[in-house]
Chains A and B, each alone.
Chain A
Amino acid sequence: MTAGNLLLEAAAQAGYYALMTRTSGPQIRGGEAAAMLRISTFPTDGQADGFQVLAAIDWQNVARFAAEIPLDSSSLVIADPSQGEPPEVFLRSGAQYARVPFKELAKQHKDAWPNMIALGVLGGLVGLPPDALERVIAKSMKKGVEAGIAAARIGMAQAATLEGYRLAAAPPRTPRWLITGNEAAGYGALRGGVRFVAAYPITPATEMLEWLSPALAKVGGTMVQAEDELASINMVLGASYGGVPALTATSGPGLSLMTEALGLGVAAEIPAVVVDVMRTGPSTGIATKTEQADLNIALYGLHGDAPHIVVAPNSLADCADATEWAVGLAESLQVPAIVLSDQYFGQARGVIDVPARNGSVATRAVARNGEHPYLRYAVTDSGISPMALPGAQGCAYTADGLEHNEKGTPSSQAADHLAQMDKRARKLTQLDPGVRWASVEGEGDIAIVTFGSCTGPAREALARARAGGLDARLVSLRMLSPAQPERLLRALQGVKRVLVLEQNHSGQFLRYLRAEGALAGEVRSLRRPGPLPFRPAEIHGALVEWSRA
């Protein structure tokens, strides 16, 4: 993982775009892990169809993620012969095998490590400038810089003996960030105004918390590590009730624990944001790997009729904007908002263009002193009623999960229930998400409808189709709740065939689109559960095949 990160940083340093996704086994520390790196001359959120080079330090437990590393006859496997022959699964692809004795080479310099040799080999092979590699080693390694640089040089010298995969010239330099999805979401939260975070560690959301903890301190906010997810979401509601925009980050098991309190947020109209970095489920599932299977719980997991916000980032960079947007929606509508990120984005680290700012962030309507009589849950046309914050004189009220009247007094009367249900629903039905509701791209009478991390490969498949003379559209939904069926139908006007793309087993997204009456024409589903990501070739293949049918 260290070598992968350094190669990524060196590529960024040399002016390339790059994306590193990762996969690892269940071990606590060490053990098998793969850094999957794509270096490109254009921004990308997806992996390519396969990998051109596989460098293996060893083959320990590689079967656990061999399926995630597709190779073909043009690929090159670089491995240390002392670690045994490459597994059949890789050789079967027809890939060439180059023997490089990483371990033996590392002995040439005191304290040199085989992974740093491999870094040098890979950097040299693709033609990254040596000084870019050396600079990132000097900058990013906490110790062993001198040995690291020496090892990389040994590796680069070794690369000269190999057939190369030279990178095209780097594109012109533009302002860029090297960021993970979890960092981007954390940053978006702060930009949205979040100054309180409570959370319980969970893979793969933990890195967001680790980024936020010192970052919050710098922007005048605070982080509390809670005893469990029940506590974290209730701490978030408490802080937000006090007037401080608040957020928690978790994954599926944590979201399951939070759903009761999210209902309280709906009833008591307390803004709150939950970033769900999805991993495979159900139950503990595969904690370290990605899936888009929490859509149902995010949309429908709360008991009672509980209108709330669900948004999904559809690129690495969008993890920032989608989270910032969710904070603004939660604050301005006084509702809980769920951000559906996933392990793919969360733990991916890539070079992105510095994201444009989407204007100002919506804020909470606050009741001031002396508004008498104060009706916390006043039935308004917009459904939004100004919220008093503790400290405001003459506005004290009790935030309550019990149904209540306009004043906030608990009520079991049918009329109050209906009036408050209507008011809470109105906040969402009247919401105009503007252009942020989806990414709509392309023309043609065949379309892909998707969301989240399937968007990158879908976009690439579309580009390939277009290059081959097949025009197709992409609609990648960012706002999932409230559903936007009219907007989707408009975006699909003239479309005869719709391919619904998602990464889960049961077709949760397809069922949701059908339930909302948001699909037109003939519909096909392209789906599978995690953790294997969709690759452009298979999406492209499905499009082409269908267009010919």
Chain B
Amino acid sequence: MNAPTEVIPLAAKDFKSDYKPVWCPGCGDYSVLSAVTKALAMLNLRPENVAVVSGIGCSSRIPAYTTCYGFHGVHGRSLPAATGLKVARPDLTVLVASGDGDGYSIGGNHFLHACRRNVDLTYIVMDNHVYGMTKGQPSPTTEPDWSSKLAPGGTGLREFHPLVIALASGANFIARAFSGDPNGTAHLIAEAVRHPGFSFLEVLSPCVTFRPEQRQWKERARPAPVAATDDPVRAARRILTDDGFNIGVLYRGHRAPYKAASATPTHSPDDLAAAFST
């Protein structure tokens, strides 16, 4: 018999790969990466048992910057890929990384259905209210009057409210974090991972290149003045009426997570063929 191997607890650095990120200096996503690695260490997980799934965009570069298994797929489809992975491999811890363009625009439909399907995933959206990778176009969370080359004078469109949409669609855990507080973000990520079902964490993560004014977010972000609620009506009111900078867990539901059909075989395919026999 093999002697039991001693399990040495891992540190955050053990979850960080040696790849140099493509992000701009000062990008909020560096802190989100730190928070992810801290959270995984806090959760006492092993990198090989964690998968980080993403789509396309600045934030979606995160998987390869970790030592976990990564899946850097096509634009907007991180949630379906993660859903397939988690349903097929329930033993894994699956994190999904996205941004406001990837997650709320091209991937918007999947967001609704991931919330209602309630597969045990942790969905981290780094929201900077701009398309960074394509160099500064308005996203669904961009303010209507933000002027850009593509939309001089602004889009005139009201912002999308991801947290309310998550709540209305059935997300089981809704929180807001600020990348300027990596420790707080790490705790929120750990809590989201622990919470069964679909956990949604919106992280305010400034783009200092195309939205330098977002440097001010650190003045505005503050802990939510109230504790998390499990009452969706109360949560909706709070989320709709706050100024978008209340940080913390805003809703914690009790819905049972998605349960895949039995994984225990009772038949072989040949057994099933008996039904075709004349």
Contacts and interface: CB of A to CB of B under 8 A. Distances in A.
Interface of A: 12-13, 175-179, 183, 187, 190-191, 195-196, 198, 215-224, 226-228, 230-244, 246, 260-261, 263-264, 268, 351, 354, 388, 390-402, 408-410
30 contacts: A13-B278, A176-B277, A177-B273, A187-B272, A218-B266, A220-B263, A220-B265, A221-B261, A222-B261, A226-B80, A227-B109, A230-B110, A231-B77, A231-B113, A234-B77, A235-B83, A238-B81, A239-B89, A240-B88, A241-B81, A244-B88, A261-B77, A268-B71, A390-B49, A396-B69, A397-B69, A398-B71, A400-B70, A400-B72, A401-B73
Contacts of B271: 218
Interface stretch (B60-68, B184-192, B198-206, B220-228): B60-68
Interface in B100-140: 109-110, 112-113
B48 A264 contact: no
Interface residues of B, number: 53
Given A395-B48, A398-B71, A410 B262 contact: no
B22 to A, nearest CB: 8
Contacts of B112: 227
B167 to A, nearest CB: 18
B91 to A, nearest CB: 7
A234 B261 contact: no
Interface in B231-249: none
B158 to A, nearest CB: 24
B51 interface: yes
Given A220-B264, A264-B74, A390 B278 contact: no
A215 B89 CA distance: 19
A420 B63 CA distance: 21
Contacts, number: 187
A238 B48 contact: no
Given A218-B265, A234-B81, A399 B273 contact: no
A238 B113 contact: no
B84 interface: yes
A394 to B, nearest CB: 8
Nearest to B262: A217
A246 B84 contact: yes
B269 interface: yes
Nearest to B64: A398
A336 to B, nearest CB: 13
Contact of A218 (B49, B64, B91, B272): B272
B113 A227 contact: yes
A235 B89 contact: no
Given A219-B268, A230-B80, A187 B278 contact: no
B69 A234 contact: no
A144 B278 CA distance: 23
Given A219-B272, A231-B113, A242 B85 contact: yes
Given A242-B89, A261-B73, A268-B71, 17 more contacts: A187-B272, A187-B273, A220-B266, A221-B261, A222-B263, A224-B87, A231-B110, A234-B73, A238-B80, A239-B88, A243-B88, A261-B74, A390-B89, A396-B70, A399-B71, A402-B72, A410-B64
